[in-house]
Amino acid sequence: MKKKALLAQIYLAGTSPAEIAVELDVSRQAVSAVINNKGWSQSIARHISSQVGKPVSSLWPGRSDKRRKAAR
């Protein structure tokens, strides 16, 4: 999903990137990096996805909301 469309979905859900950063105790820059697809955090992506009610894979095509299995 394009940045502007994703931001619109976030605001329509009644939240903002700054509020998401506070809720997750991460920097606003970290949330912005995920929104802009310049960086990746599974936990931030999952939180945004739950806020807007869409799966991670539809917000960021090619990404998955499945957790990686720990290396043994």
d(CA 19, CA 23): 6
Q: Which domains does the chain have, with CATH numbers?
A: 3-59 (1.10.260)
pLDDT tens-place string over residues 5-46 = 999 999 999 999 999 999 999 999 999 999 999 999 999 999
Report, in angstroms and rounded to the nearest whole number, the Rg of the chain calculated over CA atoms: 12
Contact predicate 60/70, CB 8 Å: no
Greater confidence (67 vs 54) lies with: 54
CA atoms within 13 A on the CB side of 32: 4
Is residue 65 a contact partner of residue 37, using CB atoms and an 8 Å limit?
no
